[in-house]
Structure 1
Amino acid sequence: MCGIAGWVDWSRDLSDQQPILKKMTDAITHRGPDAEGFWTSKRAAFGHRRLIVIDPEGGLQPMVYKDGDYTITLTYNGEIYNYQELRKELEEKGHVFRTKSDTEVLLHAYLEWQEDCIEHFNGIFAFGIWDERRSQLMLGRDHLGVKPLFFAQRGSAILFGSELKVLLSHPLVETEIDSEGLAEVFSLGPIRTPGHGVFKDIKEVRAGHYITFTPNKVNVKRYWTLESKEHLDDVNTTVETIRSILEDTVKRQLIADVSVVSMLSGGLDSSGLTALAAKEFAKNGKTLHTYSIDFVNNERDFEQDFLRRDLDEPWVKRVAEHIGTHHHTIVFGADKLVENLLVPMRARDLPGIGELETSLYLLFKEMKKDATVALSGESADEVFSGYPWFHQEQFLNADVFPWLVNMSFMLDILSEDLKAKIQPEQYQKQRFQEAVSEVPFLDGESSLQAKQRQMSYMFITRFLPFMLDRKDRASMMTGFEVRVPFCDYRLVEYLWNVPFELKSIDNIEKGILRRAFQHVLPDDVRNRRKSAYPSTKDAAYLQGISNWMLEVLNDSNSPILPLIDADRVRAIAEGKDEVISGTKARGLLDYLLQINSWLQEYHIHIRL
């Protein structure tokens, strides 16, 4: 994994612009702590920060192909999991390779198929290719959007990079936000609109898309989409297909020239992947190392809620012992979580979900001490329709995103002036209707089936990108790569058309996945009900962020003050609000603290 940066300008000579390019790549040193590289020409300047995972000697970037008087240059972040098959195919077509890297395979795939090369890749990737002979820049992103890619047009210039901070480091880009950007932050919260960069005139290449830029034209192409069709496989065939894809993708995603470990929560998703990975390790006489997170006094403080049924740790031990992994439990206290609250915001360059991101960052920071790559069970709930929202009428029939249904209290603390300018309820409904208009409904489905398909689309195309961003920024902030086997596009395509009643066979969420893991997990683990990523229940955490919020409210220079109902927020921080308290208060205060620091640290200019 790496960090990329680029600058193309058809009206300016960029040959001597490496100092600015270096400033852009320095902003993402954390993504690639092992090496840096630069390439400049008259019209294009590419930079790269490298985290060495495959072919330490041969995978240097930017990678350049020369043919006579022209060059084709690549800067790339990610992994192409089918690169070995592609390399063989390209060699049969006459291509000659100098390295063992997937980077060179991607470059030669472009030489062979040009833009269509992206349809040959199975992986997680974001890349920029400058084709000098065509005077064209191509930006491409993987099917599910696992790897990030932002861009901005400024006059004749195109700027791009792995993170927003790459663009914000360029003198042509100002830290401006308009009413639409504020609506993204305050109406939608951290789960924002795909393609929207929040900052004024900064955009994101959407998952499953590529964009080409030439002097006179910008062409946006969607190369991958979910296609609806009748699912004809019987139960056993469906189970075997899921099992086969997962076994194949886990095997592919274990390929690395550095140590690989696995995350393990004791839940179905991570346990199943860990079991498959451990089997591969055992073939080579190796023991897989696994990692989980826990909190100080968690057994004492734990409370059931909508998404969390029980403690993870007993199940983690059960799975680790059954599979035979070398397990590590990483434990944090409330003080550490409060102290590091702003790190994920700085990693994302936007406010996020607070403690749930902070603990993930701290976990990855510890895992990085032992390894460079990890497997994660992320995205199984989105792909297999595992969340409670999928079968409850109030969510299925809502006219906003399901995760916003019980979050209206977030809008209650906005100032009347801000509400008038961003119209938050209207903005939520507008973005929801845009998403609904994209859904490829299937003729002949019942009303309930159509609603469930719609729900699935919302989670795969709106909620999942947020979860993947969270994982990418939290891991890459520590120079750590996390791979997500459940995001293999072949699996997502297949599951998209499996009816909800089949996905939830045996009257349990993700029942079909439980059957697929029957050969590697004990029954009690397979039948454990869904319990979400853990959250601390320590009262000291809420007290810590409440005190911090009161300091913000008492500082007349705090930039968030004109945007909120300060009296209402003060009551919440003091524990005197009858509606917003406990878990609600914690999530809200987490978010507001991040917004205030974001506005302050990034020197954001609000243009309404």
Structure 2
Amino acid sequence: MCGIAGWIDWSKDLSHEQETLKKMTDAIIHRGPDAEGHWFSKRAALGHRRLIVIDPEGGLQPMLYKDGNDTIGLTFNGEIYNYQELRKELEEKGHEFQTKSDTEVLLHAYLEWQEDCVQHLNGIFAFGIWDERFGKLMLGRDHLGVKPLFFAQRGSAILFGSELKVLLSHPLVDAEVDKEGLSEIFCLGPTRTPGHAIFKDIHEVRAGHYMTFTSNGSTTTQYWKLESKKHVDDIDTTVETIRSVLQDTVKRQLIADKPVVSMLSGGLDSSGLTGLAGNEFGNKGERLHTYSLNFINDEKDFEQDFLRFDRDEPWVKRVAEYVGTKHHSIELGSDSLIEHLLTPMRARDLPGVGELETSLYLLFKEMKKDATVALSGESADEVFSGYPWFHQEKFLDAEIFPWSVNLWYSTEILSEDFKAKISPEKYQKQKFEDAVAEVPFLEGESDLQMKQRQMSYMFITRFLPFMLERKDRTSMMNGFEVRVPFCDYRLVEYLWNVPFEMKSIDNIEKGILRRAFENVLP
């Protein structure tokens, strides 16, 4: 994982803008503490901060390719999990490689397929490619939006970067929040409309999209989306398909030149991934390290709620013992949480959810002492319909985002005059209706099935981005990479069409995932 920054201008000579680009990359030094790179031409300035995970010597960025007098430059954040297969395919087409990095594979994929290169990628990625041959910038983002990518247009200039602070460090960009940005914060929090970046005239490349910019304008292309079709597999085939994809993606995501560990909360999602990863380590005669978070006096102070029914620690110990991991329990107290309460907000450049993000930040800070990469269970609840909201009629029937039913809670501090300006109920209703209009319903579905599909769409396209952003910022603030196997687009595509009753087989939430994990969990 890394941090990227870029500045393209079709009417200004950027070849001497070292100071400005340095400010942009310095803003995200936490994302790439291991190395720094800059490249300049007349129309482009590309920057990179590197966290070394694969090919320490060969993965330096920005990575360049010369085509006669023209240069194609790439700055890239993420991991391409199928880069070894892609490399072989490209070599068969005549491409020659100088390194062992997935960065070079991505660059050559662009050279071979241009913008269609994203159709060949399995991974988590955000990148910018400047192609001097055509005076063209391409910005691309992975299928689920695991890796962030923001951009802003100012006159003839395009600015882009991994975090908002990259753009806000440029003299052309002001940190101004307009009426719509305030509406996003107070009416949709903690989520936001896809593509919206809160600050005025700053945007985010949407998940599953790429954009191209030339002196004549820009185009936006959606290269991946959820498509509805009838699920024809029986239960045994469905379970085996889920198990097979998860085994494959975990194996791919364990590839690194730095230690890979697993986060373990004791819940089904992280426990299953730990079991799969533990098997891979065991096959090599190695032992997987796992990490969990525990709070001082948790045994005495724990209170059950609708998302957390029991303490984590007993289940963590049971899974760690069963899989045979070397387990590390990180313990936090209230003093640490208070001391670092604002740090995640600075990491996100936006309001967050308080101590939840602070605890993650502190967990990653401790994990960084021993490791660089971890597997995490993000998105399992979204794609397997595991949240309680999926099982309650009042939420399925509500014409509102289920996580925003208590709108009063986020707006009660506002004056009546201010609320009148942003119209919270009206704004929230409109954004919900916009989201519903996107849902690819399947002809012949019952009313209940349509509501369940709609709920699933809301969580995958609206709530999941918040969860991924939270994990990205709190981990990368510590120069720590988190990989999310449940975000493999192949798994998400498949589960999108698995009926809700099959996902909840055995009359329990995520019942089908429990079956898929039967051979790796106690």
Distance in structure 1 (CA, Å) of the matches to 2:412 and 2:20: 43
Distance in structure 1 (CA, Å) of the matches to 2:26 and 2:426: 40
**Corresponding position: 1:95 with 2:95:** yes
5 Å-filtered alignment, 1:101-250, equals 101-250=101-250
Q: Which residue of 2 aligns with 1:559?
A: none
Q: CA deviation at 1:179?
A: 0.4
Q: Which residue of 1 aligns with 2:72?
A: 72
Q: Is the 8 A contact 2:187 2:407 kept in 1?
A: no
Q: Which residue of 2 aligns with 1:2?
A: 2
Q: Which residue of 2 aligns with 1:598?
A: none
Q: Which residue of 2 aligns with 1:315?
A: 315
Q: Which residue of 2 aligns with 1:471?
A: 471
Distance in structure 1 (CA, Å) of the matches to 2:515 and 2:189: 36
Q: Which residue of 1 aligns with 2:450?
A: 450
**Corresponding position: 1:259 with 2:259:** yes
Q: What per-residue deviation string (whole Å, max 9, x for no partner) do you get for residues 391-431 of structure 1?
A: 21111111110011134332222111210110011111111
Q: Which residue of 2 aligns with 1:58?
A: 58
Question: How many residue pairs align between the two structures?
Answer: 522
Q: What per-residue deviation string (whole Å, max 9, x for no partner) do you get for residues 24-64 of structure 1?
A: 00000000000000000000000000000000000000000
Q: CA deviation at 1:78?
A: 0.2
Q: What per-residue deviation string (whole Å, max 9, x for no partner) do you get for residues 320-341 of structure 1?
A: 0011000011111111111111
User: Cα RMSD between the aligned structures?
Assistant: 0.6
Q: CA deviation at 1:126?
A: 0.1
Distance in structure 1 (CA, Å) of the matches to 2:353 and 2:320: 29
What is the TM-score with the length of structure 2 in the denominator?
Answer: 0.99
Q: Which residue of 2 aligns with 1:330?
A: 330
Q: CA deviation at 1:236?
A: 0.1
Q: Is the 8 A contact 2:263 2:376 kept in 1?
A: yes
Q: Specify the SS of the correspondent of 1:317.
A: helix
Q: Specify the SS of the correspondent of 1:311.
A: coil
Q: Specify the SS of the correspondent of 2:293.
A: strand
Q: Is the 8 A contact 2:38 2:62 kept in 1?
A: yes
Distance in structure 2 (CA, Å) of the matches to 1:406 and 1:172: 38
Q: Which residue of 2 aligns with 1:515?
A: 515
Distance in structure 2 (CA, Å) of the matches to 1:277 and 1:410: 40
Q: Specify the SS of the correspondent of 2:177.
A: strand
Q: CA deviation at 1:136?
A: 0.3
Distance in structure 1 (CA, Å) of the matches to 2:410 and 2:158: 36
Q: What per-residue deviation string (whole Å, max 9, x for no partner) do you get for residues 533-578 of structure 1?
A: xxxxxxxxxxxxxxxxxxxxxxxxxxxxxxxxxxxxxxxxxxxxxx
Distance in structure 1 (CA, Å) of the matches to 2:114 and 2:288: 39
Distance in structure 2 (CA, Å) of the matches to 1:409 and 1:31: 34
Q: Which moved more, 1:59-68 or 1:184-193?
A: 184-193
Q: Specify the SS of the correspondent of 1:133.
A: coil
Distance in structure 1 (CA, Å) of the matches to 2:67 and 2:309: 60
Distance in structure 2 (CA, Å) of the matches to 1:98 and 1:473: 32
Q: Specify the SS of the correspondent of 1:119.
A: helix
Task: Read off the aligned partner of 1:286 and give its amino acid letter.
Answer: E
Q: CA deviation at 1:286?
A: 0.7
Q: CA deviation at 1:18?
A: 1.2
Q: What per-residue deviation string (whole Å, max 9, x for no partner) do you get for residues 219-252 of structure 1?
A: 0000000000000000000000000000000000
Distance in structure 2 (CA, Å) of the matches to 1:315 and 1:197: 38
Structure 2: state its 5+ residue gaps.
Answer: none
**Corresponding position: 1:425 with 2:428:** no
Q: Which moved more, 1:401-410 or 1:261-270?
A: 401-410
Q: Which residue of 2 aligns with 1:582?
A: none
Distance in structure 1 (CA, Å) of the matches to 2:210 and 2:195: 12
Distance in structure 1 (CA, Å) of the matches to 2:208 and 2:54: 24
| Structure with the greater alpha carbon radius of gyration | 1
Q: Calculate percent identity across the aligned residue pairs.
A: 80
Q: What per-residue deviation string (whole Å, max 9, x for no partner) do you get for residues 137-166 of structure 1?
A: 000000000000000000000000000000
What is the TM-score with the length of structure 1 in the denominator?
Answer: 0.85
Q: Which residue of 2 aligns with 1:20?
A: 20
Distance in structure 2 (CA, Å) of the matches to 1:410 and 1:158: 34
Q: Which residue of 2 aligns with 1:552?
A: none
Q: Which residue of 2 aligns with 1:395?
A: 395
Structure 1: state its 5+ residue gaps.
Answer: 523-608
Q: Give runs of ≥4 in structure 1 deviating > 3 Å.
A: none
Distance in structure 1 (CA, Å) of the matches to 2:21 and 2:259: 31
